Structure 1
């Protein structure tokens, strides 16, 4: 009887052990120690499968493809596919109508009548470490939503550390957010890392040491670029990637990321795929070589994290994605029979302005169209006010004139030799005014949803245009661009690594906004203030009690 009773107790004990949640079920029992949001700029969603046979390292892209939860069907659900809105969307889990970042730069006549305002420009916070005092300041002021990292800092009473790194200021700042202890990016000319007084009045000693270490000069030698603009030249080579990741390692070590009693957050955006990609296009062997080199660099970086984070990679969660996709170069698309074209955005603006002057100011030339980055044509409200036109009427007139202006440009090019004109005549397929979009006056279609998600109060008066598929500004022969609602510009990879995720390939249609929603749920913090993403429960590991890893209280 005694033996039977002892057996029952032993069985009961085993059952209790088997049903106990694994160690680290709560994020704020410091599991994980570090969350990394990794963005590859201009990294289209088909790259990982297209070049999968190239990846030979265990902890580069294979960390996600073989050991992580991989979602190849990930698409942005807005039409303004560019760097600044993409990074804001990843960080905030919202689209432009939530975080308000529509393009990289726009006209804001209340702040400047001489230059466009950048997505992170803030004259109140001068740059620190800049080579010239004339360089404009920076902060997250234009991003009108909180980020995942912001919410982790808030939920830990400021104990969590949050940092952002990129070669680009907007990528470092907008992904990490308002509550970060630092965002770092490079000076374009020198390659040295800088920040702004939004974070601190002087560079930390470790940043000064890195800048003085000769690492930038070594990157120049590696890229065979002895002089010239560091961002454009070295940034377009694999040397730019290893340089950025070496700085990131210095940050992790100096700031002790992954070595605190709460979870730290690090956002890293690799810019080199975008810098090179605009020049050569997604199908060029140079871009493939860049991606293969990044695989090796990521393997080295994650192996390094495994040594420098308490508990190793078992205590690290990572999300990988891109800030936007990209179109094939027009010459490549045309070769396969696609109706590709390249046109001049500046010429389009000039032609619209010429027609506006003919109608509204024939006696004195006015600049009704300020220009700016497509897909937005930005207008000068002062010129229209002088012509006694309100915003709605002004935008409506420009929307009416834009398709004809494009047609006239293309007709003029048709008379020139074939090698000096676009491959096919470009057209404007969709045209919407700001007042239309603000009122929700768009078709109740998938395209209509993408347009609504692209709304911003920035840029004053504007008209949004969409060229035809495989049509873009500039880059007729080898280069490319992105800014359209077409799937090739919206398609990016999404993958997670960490003990909270069940490895596998998931073919669900997902979006980058799901990163912030999923991590917030796992970490048991509030979702960012404008977040519209979904928690990707299909990829979450559950313990024996049926709870997802990460269950627990925030404090």
Structure 2
């Protein structure tokens, strides 16, 4: 066989095996021609929308199910695949790690994002840097006259997202965007290759971005910011004009509809869903978190917020149905959350749980005193850095270096001082007779782990140990991870609550899918948020994200032969393009040879 013909035969064989392989499901094999197999390459679906609800426990969907109307949450509960038992597989349940895990399909030990912020003394000695802070770039769209702050980027994200893989595999033909009120929630799930990410300037409420993505706002975004929609949101929230938008409007339903209106402007302005390959929008709703911290998960106000989100999602999904070619039949929607939330300590304590609050400032001061007593008696050296928050307590390497103490000795010393520091937070009540009512809760240390223990895998060989292992991050310098008893948290404003623990209330989140490949139903059995990226990447026919450890949720997938889309898009896959290109080349080379033989 001639070299050209042999190459063409191999190419055809490889391409056919690439396009005809069925998705990994328990269903029968697809019998349709390879070119019709649904995948991102032929714009099936036209658009993937990832909705992340910030601080949204999965039990909300059942507790408030009777409240829901239309096609908001009911789109998933009645017509989608609804996983009731989705739990994060790590202990550091915060916003930045959660959004990173959703996009990458990896834990913190894979994507590197351990918290919302951390100390990086090589970059700043006066404040912790945020998870997306990047002084190499500038913010775009901030009103003139406001204080200049560093730009933002996904520089700290050490793994690709499913959106990144889509961009890579389609050679940039697919568009990927992220939107949220928060910068980290817009940037991290979308990934490093995203076309853009947008979040609000907290003071003014204007949507902004960073020079990492673009030198100036697109015309459609500028038009939205100048449209008067900000003033409308302030009026709907009964917030004063000129006040900090994030603080006054962010905790109200007005911020949800405002954010979704911006998402509509983005979809229209960026022509999402109108390309030859699938596009992706990650949309993180922040208001549930802003309010939830203030009032807790059991407040009527939070229930009203959940109901408002339901109404606004109904409106948004109806808009998608009218504005995407083929309607919702050409859209996949995934719904999850970045973390759950603990009950307000007073509420949990009222039921007899040991729901104490932890005075972190006093805890750090007591630890500094203990370390001075051990290493520098009579002095007031700051062995722990300022601006501490749980679960990671960060050490000051320079202070230990001056005393000739290495990292292992330093972290071991903090770890050994922790039990007494916790005990000193609350002096036990002295009883002269049996108590006649429940005693007040007291802070208690459950476990602690040094950075070196986590990095070296010196952890319990148990499911709990795995949660800690998955929480390891190389960021933050020297640190000790602190795990207090369940239902205990750092001191909050009266009536408020928090999240950051390995306990189920912080790890339990919804995981729901709607779209052509998903078999509607209620699915029991443990799954994890890492499964979302793995499942979407598989269905789109692209590579798994670089650090993905998730499983493909085959139990919720229809047989491939049963997956249909309205208005099929006659776009050939890349493999078919290559076949035709090779055929054209082979034909062109064969014509001169044939002509020579005929002469």
Q: What is the TM-score of this pair, normalised by structure 1? A: 0.92
- Does 1:44 pair with 2:57? yes
- Does 1:405 pair with 2:421? yes
Matched residues in 1 for 2:43 and 2:430: separation? 64
What is the aligned partner in structure 1 of residue 320 from structure 2? 305
- Does 1:55 pair with 2:68? yes
What is the aligned partner in structure 1 of residue 125 from structure 2? 113
**8 A contact 2:56–2:339 mirrored in 1:** yes
**8 A contact 1:106–1:373 mirrored in 2:** no
- Does 1:167 pair with 2:181? yes
Structure 1 residues 389-410: Cα deviation after superposition (integer angstroms, max 9, x where no partner): 0001100000010121111121
Structure 2 unmatched ranges of 5 or more = 1-29, 432-438, 576-599
What is the aligned partner in structure 2 of residue 95 from structure 1? 107
Q: Decide whether aligned partners of structure 1 residues 311 and 115 sit closer, same or farther in structure 2, where only a CA change above 3 A counts.
A: same
- Does 1:221 pair with 2:235? yes
Matched residues in 2 for 1:553 and 1:429: separation? 54
Give secondary structure in 2 for the equivalent of 1:470: coil
Please, what is the CA RMSD of the aligned residues? 2.2
**8 A contact 1:43–1:324 mirrored in 2:** yes
Structure 1 unmatched ranges of 5 or more = 1-17, 416-421
What is the aligned partner in structure 2 of residue 441 from structure 1? 458
Structure 1 residues 427-473: Cα deviation after superposition (integer angstroms, max 9, x where no partner): 11010000011110001011100000000000000000101011011
Matched residues in 1 for 2:155 and 2:140: separation? 17
Matched residues in 1 for 2:469 and 2:560: separation? 40
What is the aligned partner in structure 1 of residue 191 from structure 2? 177
Q: Decide whether aligned partners of structure 1 residues 412 and 224 sit closer, same or farther in structure 2, where only a CA change above 3 A counts.
A: farther
Matched residues in 2 for 1:546 and 1:245: separation? 29
What is the aligned partner in structure 1 of residue 172 from structure 2? 158
Matched residues in 2 for 1:273 and 1:545: separation? 37
Residues 115-134 of structure 1 correspond to what in structure 2 (within 5 A)? Answer: 115-131=127-143, 132-134=146-148
Q: Decide whether aligned partners of structure 1 residues 23 and 50 sit closer, same or farther in structure 2, where only a CA change above 3 A counts.
A: farther
Matched residues in 2 for 1:240 and 1:498: separation? 27
Residues 14-29 of structure 1 correspond to what in structure 2 (within 5 A)? Answer: 20=32, 25-29=38-42
Matched residues in 2 for 1:355 and 1:460: separation? 21
What is the aligned partner in structure 2 of residue 11 from structure 1? none
What is the aligned partner in structure 1 of residue 469 from structure 2? 452
Structure 1 residues 258-296: Cα deviation after superposition (integer angstroms, max 9, x where no partner): 111100011000000000000000000000000001101
Q: Decide whether aligned partners of structure 1 residues 23 and 53 sit closer, same or farther in structure 2, where only a CA change above 3 A counts.
A: farther
Q: What is the TM-score of this pair, normalised by structure 2? A: 0.86
The CA deviation at 1:320 is: 0.2
Give secondary structure in 1 for the equivalent of 2:79: coil
**8 A contact 1:105–1:118 mirrored in 2:** yes
> Paired residues, what number?
530
The CA deviation at 1:150 is: 0.3
- Does 1:336 pair with 2:351? yes
Give secondary structure in 1 for the equivalent of 2:348: helix
Matched residues in 2 for 1:63 and 1:376: separation? 39
What is the aligned partner in structure 2 of residue 278 from structure 1? 293
Matched residues in 2 for 1:498 and 1:414: separation? 61
- Does 1:380 pair with 2:396? yes
The CA deviation at 1:144 is: 0.4
**8 A contact 1:329–1:477 mirrored in 2:** no
What is the aligned partner in structure 1 of residue 525 from structure 2? 508
Structure 1 residues 48-104: Cα deviation after superposition (integer angstroms, max 9, x where no partner): 0110000011x1000100000000100000000000000000000000000000000
Matched residues in 1 for 2:467 and 2:280: separation? 30
Q: Decide whether aligned partners of structure 1 residues 554 and 319 sit closer, same or farther in structure 2, where only a CA change above 3 A counts.
A: farther
2:556 to 531, 539, 551: 539
**8 A contact 1:44–1:493 mirrored in 2:** yes
Matched residues in 2 for 1:127 and 1:543: separation? 44
**8 A contact 1:127–1:195 mirrored in 2:** yes
Matched residues in 2 for 1:207 and 1:84: separation? 25
1:73 to 82, 85, 96: 85
**8 A contact 2:517–2:560 mirrored in 1:** no
Matched residues in 1 for 2:248 and 2:96: separation? 21
- Does 1:239 pair with 2:254? yes
What is the aligned partner in structure 1 of residue 222 from structure 2? 208
Give secondary structure in 1 for the equivalent of 2:156: coil
